[in-house]
Amino acid sequence: MSIRTLDDLLAEGVSGRRVLVRADLNVPLDKQTGDITDDGRIRAVLPTLGALVEAGAKVVVCSHLGRPKGAPAPQFSLRPVAGRLGELLGAPVHFATDTVGDSARSTVAGLADGQVALLENLRFNAGETSKDDAERGAFADQLVAFGDAYVDDAFGAVHRKHASVYDVPARLPHVAGRLVLREVEVLSRLTSDPERPYVVVLGGSKVSDKLAVIEALLPTVDRLLIGGGMCFTFLKAQGLEVGTSLLEKDMVETCGNLLERAAGKILLPVDVVVADAFAPDAAHDTVRVDGIPSHRLGLDIGPETVAGFAAALSQAKTIFWNGPMGVFEMAAFANGTRGVAEAITKTDAFTVVGGGDSAAAVRALGLDESSFGHISTGGGASLEYLEGKTLPGIAALEN
């Protein structure tokens, strides 16, 4: 990779220099209490921040959280993240209550060597996500005033052409942080000559979100196992009735074509758990996929499917998994996701969990994170990487 790294920057010496770090601290928050429910993304950036602190840099961290619409919105404040980051670093993190305003200026100016500041949510500023190059550029100009060098460690956001990801590195000496480097190294093992059999497990609710990655993976993989809400559109394409299950009607034909072209590589569920309603306490049963009642909806894959998927996984030498197999947040519909996750941990394959919901599922189900080869911090980013797309954040580091 023709990208300069954090080690290159550290070798130049950063003591007393201001280093602007783009992190992806977009963590899930409890809707009621506002508490951080999964701090995986904060932990993931500690190696980079720790190294900069130790080297005596003045570390200025910026991130987005959620999708505020270009103006301050208190429920998307990064303040709780600053608190948690400080706990994990073992030193207080100075929090700026704006991103590029008076608070940010005085917070950054007040940093001593080896101290860390966190700016308020980048997306409180319309320039961050603007499609207009000049508007994004103007915001980037304000951000670069806080750094003598730039480190991108926000793997989860490298697929976004946003000011802090794309325009800032064009204006400052730039390097890839430890997390971005590791993510790219791992994912490139999947795209260039993976050890075979290479088995991919895809779940989640929408086929339309996964279509591009299915297209890209079909020629490469040996087996593609499909569960989650998206399996019902495939089952429908096979001529089965799916009751009131999630169905993307306009995707049925596309799924039919994919199944034809896949020549047996795609494995679909043979049984599913159907319920009366989308609710944790709904009455539910396991049925075969050709016997889904017209008034019920599928919320998980069934035990026979789990066994079939586990058998395919047990042969694998490389596994990529993205997307839960069912509504794992409800205990009654978590067995499919748990079963597949456990099957993945039992193989001796190189295993990668692709971001977002699947990473949260691993932790929420109490599975041992260390029994997976790599848990990506990027959902959309890891999928777009596997699709072979140019990722704006990576391209900006290469220039």
Examine the residue annotation and report whether 41 is marked as an active-site residue of this protein.
yes
Residue 156 engages ligand 3PG in binding (rule: CB under 6 A): yes
CB of 157 to ligand 3PG, least distance (A): 5
Ranges within 362-391 binding Mg ion (CB under 5 A) = 380
Tell me the per-residue interface mask from 41 to 80 with ligand 3PG, x by CB under 6 A, - otherwise: --------------------------x-------------
DSSP H or E segment with residue 215: helix 207-217
- Cα 266 to chain centroid distance, Å, stands at 24
Nearer to Mg ion, 302 or 378 (CB): 378
Determine the Cα–Cα distance for residues 354 and 382; give it in Å rounded to an integer: 6
Determine the Cα–Cα distance for residues 100 and 145; give it in Å rounded to an integer: 9
Residue 66 engages Mg ion in binding (rule: CB under 5 A): no
Ranges within 7-46 binding ligand 3PG (CB under 6 A) = 24, 26
CA dihedral 362→366→369→371, nearest 10 degrees, is -100
In this chain, which stretch among 77-85, 155-163, 211-219, 242-250 interacts with ligand 3PG, using CB under 6 A? 155-163
In this chain, which stretch among 154-162, 248-256, 358-366, 390-398 interacts with ligand 3PG, using CB under 6 A? 154-162
CB 392, CB 158: distance < 8 Å: yes
Determine the Cα–Cα distance for residues 123 and 353; give it in Å rounded to an integer: 27
Examine the residue annotation and report whether 356 is marked as an active-site residue of this protein.
yes
Whether the link from the prior residue into 68 is cis, omega within 30° of 0, is no
Q: What is the DSSP string of 294-328?
A: TT-EEEEE-HHHHHHHHHHHHT-SEEEEES-SS-T
Examine the residue annotation and report whether 249 is marked as an active-site residue of this protein.
no
| Interface with ligand 3PG (CB under 6 A), residue from 94, 160, 265, 374 | 160
| 3-state class (DSSP) for residue 78 | coil
Nearer to Mg ion, 9 or 154 (CB): 154
Residue 338 engages ligand 3PG in binding (rule: CB under 6 A): no
Which residues are part of the catalytic machinery?
A: 41, 206, 356, 380
Q: Which residues bind ligand 3PG (CB under 6 A)?
A: 24, 26, 67, 156-157, 160, 356, 379-380
